Amino acid sequence: MQVDGRSVVRRAALALAAAGALVVVAAPGASAGDPRIVGGTPTSIDDFPATVIFNVNGAQHCAGTLVAKNKVLTAAHCTDGVEASQMQIIGGQTKFSDTSGEKAGVSDVWQNPDFDMNGMQHDNAVLTLDKELPYEPATLVQSADDPAYQAGAEVTVVGWGTTSEGGDVSDQLLKVSVPVVDNNTCAEKYSTGGSKYDKASMFCAGVPEGGKDSCQGDSGGPAYVGGKLAGIVSWGQGCARKDFPGVYTNVGNDYSVISSHLG
């Protein structure tokens, strides 16, 4: 999916080089080195225990949120074209390089059937793990009419993505808070290009001057409002650009279908 010729899905992959250094590996449609949480501050997994690492073939691919002891909610663009046998979920790590987290395989993948990589609508998927994880699952927003989506509501985004557009990935879990932007403004900003803003299945958040945002490597990760999971990191025009807020999956809009896959 592209806007003005630039890939803007926020998926990325990392691989461990033989020497043990982290090396950026471009995800499909992404340029190597594209960013993560921009303008954020360090945080701890203890403050966001439901946040998990989503690896594919042993390399960082996306993030996700534990929404039941054996279920992870992530972005459909993170699961598209990937087999369950290639996936691994890791919970309980503040630092990506840590090895103390609890690991689980994925036994089943449900990808929202209304998702389209070209349009990015309904960008959500549920992973069923092969074991339960010992962390507190997140509580989901249950309606698109929830106050969480009102303009000005504070959204907290968490991830291990890069810290600037074209920058390096973060080993430390980071967070950033940005306000919800009203739907009409979001639709106006993203009215042209390869993907257009959908008022039903998306919401956007950011500051007009830019400088704070999610980015590559943060895809699939959580966007909390009032302590509840309101969104999933999805896409945007570059990262933290002026007048281009980040776009998130509206969890409340798809709550009914998502919850039916949580067991």
The tokens describing 23, both together, are 């090396």
Neighbouring-strand partners of residue 63: 53
Q: Is 61 a catalytic residue?
A: no
Q: What pLDDT sits at residue 19? A: 24
Predicted local distance difference test score (pLDDT) of residue 238: 86
Active-site entry in 77, 198, 213, 214: 77
* pLDDT-derived band at 166, boundaries 50, 70, 90: low
Q: So what's the pLDDT on residue 160?
A: 92
Of residues 163 and 149, which shows the higher confidence score?
A: 149
Averaged pLDDT for residues 167-178 = 88
Give the ranges where 14-133 is alpha helix by DSSP (H).
Answer: 76-79
pLDDT reading at 258 higher than 70: yes
Mean predicted confidence (pLDDT) in 246-250: 96
Q: Check pLDDT > 60 for residue 201.
A: yes
pLDDT band at 182 (very low <50, low <70, confident <90, very high): very high
Q: Which of 123, 146, 198, 218 is catalytic?
A: 123
The SS3 of residue 111 is strand
Instruction: List pLDDT tens digits, range 61-106.
Output: 999 999 999 999 999 999 999 999 999 999 999 999 998 999 999 9
The SS3 assignment for 258 reads: helix
> What average pLDDT does this structure show over 156-167?
82
Q: Is 77 among the catalytic positions?
A: yes
Catalytic pick among 198, 219, 234, 254: 219
68-105 exposure pattern, b = at least 16 Cβ within 10 A, e = fewer: bebbbbbbbbbbbebeeeebbbbbbbbbbeeeebebbe
How deeply is 152 buried, as exposed, middle or buried, from its count of CB atoms within 10 A (0-12, 13-18, 19+)?
Answer: exposed
Establish whether 122 is a catalytic residue.
no
Angle (CA) 226-231-237 rounded to 5° is 125
Q: What is the pTM of this model?
A: 0.87
pLDDT band at 138, cuts 50/70/90?
very high
Give the distance between the most distant pair of CA atoms in the chain: 50
Computed over every residue of the chain, the mean pLDDT equals 86
Give the pLDDT of residue 194: 62
Predicted pLDDT at 216: 83
For residue 20, is pLDDT > 70?
A: no
> What is residue 188's three-state secondary structure?
helix
Distance separating alpha carbons of residues 64 and 222, to the nearest angstrom: 7
Res 23: pLDDT: 27
Query: What pLDDT, on the 0 to 100 scale, is given for residue 12?
Result: 52
Q: Could you give the CA distance from residue 135 to residue 198 in angstroms, rounded to a whole number?
A: 33
